Amino acid sequence: MHAYQSLNDGEAQWVTTDFFRYDEEDKILEHWDVIAEYAENTPSGHTSVDGPTEVVDLEKTEENKALVRSLIEDALMPGGNPHNLERFINPNKYIQHNKEVADGLEHFQKLARVPNRPLNYQDLVLLVGQGNFVATLCRATWTEGEKVSEYAQADLFRVEDGLIVEHWDCVEPVPPKRRVGQ
């Protein structure tokens, strides 16, 4: 679930990406979430949550999940090749809902292809999908100089004709681990 939240008449606005695991009786067994500040305007004029929501292409669910898994593992993790992004993302139609990245594959490539890129996906924790929508929860790192920060990275992708055409995300810092007794 990718949801907008407005608290205290808009005083605080958030976007939350939630993942739930259910049992056979539809009772929630586990829950993960990533919460980020809502962006009313991205560089291309979108919001953090606008765009299509209709689930189509149910028969392509597994194919679309495999595409997104390959994007994460083959292009965005250390050792991957970000020069292969065109294998996964439509170069003619890529809508971006990130508050810092404009529409178009070329803008995402600038971030992903920079030498010693700051953003690296470390672990693919969850991957779920239905039809043309696939969501992932990953552990990622952002490097600035000598400082490496760990993040929970939730991404939602919309797939059309075998390529990713739209992307939403939520990113939240992971607090440093505490030792017992601190």
Predicted pLDDT at 179: 56
What pLDDT sits at residue 117?
A: 84
**Domains parsed from the chain with CATH numbers:** 52-173 (3.10.450.50)
pLDDT of residue 118: 87
Instruction: Band the pLDDT of 10: cuts 50, 70, 90.
Output: confident
Running DSSP on this structure, what letter comes out for residue 11?
A: T
The CA-CA-CA angle for residues 117, 120, 124, to 5°, reads 165
